[in-house]
Amino acid sequence: MRRPLPLATALALVAVASLAGCGRAADPNRLRFMAFSAGPAEDEALRAAIAAYQRVSPVRVELNIVPDYETTLQAALAGGNPPDVFYVNDIRLPDLASAGVLAPIGDQVENPADFHPALRRAFSYQGRFYCPPKDFSTLALAYDERALAAAGVAPPRTWAQLREAARRLTRPGRKGLVMEAQFERWGAFLPGAGGWLTDAGLTRMTANTPQVREGFGFLAGLHRDGLAATPGQLDAGWSGEALARGRAAMAVEGTWLAGAAAKDFPHLRWAAVPVPAGPRGGGTLSFSVCLAVAASSPVRDRALGLVRFLTSPSRMTAFTDRFPVMPSRRSLTARWTARNPRLAGFAAGVDQARSVVFRPGFPEVLDALNDGIQGLAVGDRRLDEVLERVDWAGRPVLAGGAR
Amino acid sequence: MKWARQRPEWLAGWLFAAPAVAGIGLFLLVPVVLAFWASFRDWNGIGPLGESHSVGTANYEALLVSDGLPRSDFAVALRNNLYYVLGVVPLQTALAFGLALVLNQRYPRLRGFFRAAYYFPSVTSSIAISLIFIFLFQTNGIVNAVASGVFGAEPVNWLENADGVLHLGLGALGLDLEQPPTWLTGTTVLGLPLWDWLSGPSVTLLSIMLLAVWTTSGMFMVIFLAGLQNIPEAVEEAAVVDGAGPWRRLWSVTIPMMRPTLALVLTLGVTGTWQVFDQVYAISAGGPQRTTLTPAYLIFRDGFRNFSMGRASAIAFVLLVVIVASTLVSRWLLNRKERA
């Protein structure tokens, strides 16, 4: 090698290398769809749905199931070249909608009034229904049938019955109730006390009120009296595992318990009743995922076509038959409940379900609340102090202060 | 041909360096500059950075000045990580040095085996190691089984235990933890009462610290071993001739001659421990009750989970200042020891 690499060649190489990967020819027959999945069963249901779409549409759908979904989606959005269609968790909706990255297509699918009102609300921001929910889950009180039968305890329907049942089911090596120490479980008991973290218009924090104190106080009392525990205290990764290993007799868990039970602990005989009702009635939490279309997608019409197909009643029926999630359309609920009698406890709470959706910036307030709930569950924080702190943390966020 | 010969040499030099310079610029300098810019903006990390608005120093004020949740979270993260650094760096350095001294004895065959064995954890995925530690530290896990089998200790809940170790120690000395002294609870620094600053690492953070010591000391041992093998045998022999015993040789010959290596290990240790993330992510996600929240995890949580990328960038730069400052302190301590 006598001569160094000619300058022009080197520059050309650098230029080619930096251009590769940038830029994307907008192929109108290609649609990029990013999703996440809870496991092989959901993977398969999703692939079957896409295969069905490919039979009726010439548009080629590139399905990308991503493990670390939230981070990948955020990077794709910030990079300005997001997938055309993607899943959005309800808790992320306010932040994504306020950032203007979602096309408001919720009302452009078939019969949009058919979606459960609570889910419509969860995916609406400032009055616009952004994206149709593909399906949803609720929390219910799942229980070990054999344990309850052996103790002669009927599935509890009210708080008083829940406490009594937990007392009679607790014995050395087993707690009556297992519950994750987070708002996504504890919040299910707030409607029963008539409380919530904010007022309906999201203008004012209402965490530090007698209603919330009553709801959380009930659960903190169960933990304090040794009738309830967190999965971690029972050496379990999550509540379902604690239930399956016989370390707890009851658990507040979501519809996904059905899938996990069928796969990981088929020996468990379990059933579910709605979250027990408090002095102000029943209620539960719902968790949902919608099918969003990117505002910046060059093929928005085709993306909408895929979303319409996937959220149509027939496809939704096919999907929710393969996989234990509930159809987000009211017209399909009765049929689903009839087919899944064991999951009736989850479906029964649909009408009083609330979602954990607030406003942009609110997730960090929930982080602060979760710290407090962890303290209440192990008994080293005082309820008054926790609620005061959440109120204090939430006020600047509701006032629209610094993000 | 004539053109090629006349071309100055510096051009060829730059040309050869160009790929590396472009790589460093693209993947290091540009992101750093962009992040610094973002730390003065209300960027949510979703929309384009250019469309965000300037907020002046509001992100930094939220962390350091304004009373609110961000400052409280940041103070807790600093406290946790400070205890983490103070615990892990001396321990891992001492352990690595001790192992290196032992391995530097006369058995070259065993040396190769043990060097590989101790180095193994540092080339294993930290997430995989963390998952194994979760099993070890369960209430019914091996750690508790050994502790109760050998010492008759009560089983400890390691992984969901927010009790501060120093608080527990003070409690054992008879201090009433329900009623701590008011001068400690009344005085606050960065919105966090002194009493909370003095909690020590929580039991859960302590488990993560043990994990970190075990994982990293192998790597530092290899560095120490290389340093030890650089010490000329003549120096050791001269010390022996002068009648120095093993301890005397260690303190007066080996350690002084290892000072550059020690400085390297301390610097790497301090910068590494201030950025602890993966173990927290895999084991505790900042919990229980924020006691394993670290600045690096807070950056991830605020930036990628709570969409406050501007503030997350600000945390990164405050963390940079903290790392530089504590590295200087550790270097100063080392130099001072030498002069003494």
Burial class (CB in 10 A: 0-12, 13-18, 19+), A255: buried
Kindly report, residue by residue over B240-263, the tens digit of the pLDDT.
Answer: 888 888 888 888 888 888 888 999
Give the per-residue pLDDT at B9: 84
Cβ-contact A300, A293 below 8 angstroms: yes
Average pLDDT over residues A96-120: 92
Residue contact B289–A375, C-beta within 8 A: yes
Query: In this model, does residue A383 exceed pLDDT 90?
Result: yes
Q: How many CA atoms lie within 13 A of A20 on its CB side?
A: 6
CA torsion angle A265 A268 A273 A278 (round to 10): -90
pLDDT tens digits, one per residue of B164-173: 888 888 888 8
Exposure letters A138-169 (e unless 16+ CB within 10 A, then b)? bbbbbbbeebbeeeebebbbebeebbbbbeeb
Pick B62's closest partner by Cβ from A18, A374, A402: A402
Q: What is the pLDDT of residue B176?
A: 75
Question: Residue A323: pLDDT above 80?
Answer: no
Query: B219 and B122 in contact (C-beta within 8 Å)?
Result: yes
Calculate the alpha carbon distances from A398 to A83, A206, A358, A401 in Å. Answer: 31, 11, 9, 7
Length of chain A: 403
Q: How far apart are CA B265 and CA B224, in angstroms?
A: 8
User: Quick check: A226 pLDDT over 60?
Assistant: yes
| pLDDT for A347 beyond 80 | yes
Interface residue of A3, A13, A69, A364 to substitute, partner B, most B CBs within 10 Å: A364
Per-residue pLDDT, A11: 41
At B37 the pLDDT is 93
| Closest partner CB to B157 (pick from A233, A380, A381) | A233
First to last CA, chain A: 58
Q: What angle do CA B246, B252, B257 make, to 5 degrees?
A: 110
Pick the range with the lowest mean pLDDT from A250-254, B161-165, B202-206. Answer: B161-165
What is the DSSP pairing of strand A85-89 with strand A30-35? parallel
pLDDT category at A19 given cuts 50, 70, 90 is very low
Residues A290/A133, Cβ–Cβ less than 8 Å: yes
Residue A349 has pLDDT above 80, yes or no: no
A19, A102, A277, B98 from B67: Cα distances, Å: 47, 34, 39, 46
Across B309-331, average pLDDT: 93
Q: Is residue A18's pLDDT more than 70?
A: no
What pLDDT, on the 0 to 100 scale, is given for residue A22?
Answer: 44
- pLDDT for A139 beyond 70: yes
Q: How far is A313 from chain B (nearest CA, A)?
A: 32
Confidence at B18, pLDDT banded by 50, 70, 90: very high
The pLDDT tens digits for B63-120 are: 999 888 999 999 999 999 999 999 999 999 999 998 888 888 766 777 778 778 888 8
Which residues 245-274 on chain A approach chain B with CB closer than 8 angstroms?
none
Q: Poorest-confidence range of A4-13, A111-120, A181-190, B126-135?
A: A4-13
Residue contact B45–A230, C-beta within 8 A = no
pLDDT surpasses 90 at A348: no
| pLDDT over 90 (residue A387) | yes
Taking contacts as CB-CB distances below 8 angstroms, the residues of chain B near A96 are 46
Give the closest of A10, A371, A402 to B58, CB-based: A402
Do A96 and A42 form a contact (C-beta atoms < 8 A)?
no
| Whether residue A401 has pLDDT greater than 50 | no
Q: Tell which wins on pLDDT, B181 or A375.
A: A375
Q: How confident is the model at residue B4 (pLDDT cuts 50, 70, 90)?
A: low
pTM of the predicted structure, to 2 decimals: 0.86
What mean pLDDT, rounded, does chain A reach?
Answer: 88
CA distance A327 to A331: 9
Contact B160 A233 (CB under 8 A): yes
Other CB atoms within 10 A of residue B35 CB: 19
Interface test with B, best of A18, A86, A367, A380 (most B CBs within 10 A): A367
Size of interface A-B (CB pairs under 8 A): 113
Q: Do B46 and A95 touch (CB under 8 A)?
A: yes
Q: What integer is the mean pLDDT of A194-218?
A: 94
| Close Cβ partners of B44 (under 8 Å, ≥ 6 residues apart) | A95, A98, A99, A360, A403, B52, B307, B308, B309, B310
Quote the CA–CA distance of B312 and B46 in Å, as a whole number. Answer: 13
> In this model, does residue B163 exceed pLDDT 50?
yes
pLDDT above 70 covers a percentage of chain A that reads: 93
Q: Residue B225, Cβ neighbours under 10 Å: how many?
A: 23
- State yes or no: pLDDT of B305 exceeds 80: yes
Over chain B, what is the mean pLDDT? Answer: 86
Tokens encoding B315: 């945390």
For residue B2, what pLDDT is reported?
Answer: 52
The residue of chain B with its CA nearest to that of A14 is B19
In this predicted structure, the answer to whether residue B191 has a pLDDT above a threshold of 50 is yes
Residues of chain B neighbouring A396 (CB-CB closer than 8 A): 68-69
A390/B175: higher pLDDT:
A390
Whether B11 has its CB under 8 Å from any CB of chain A: the answer is: yes
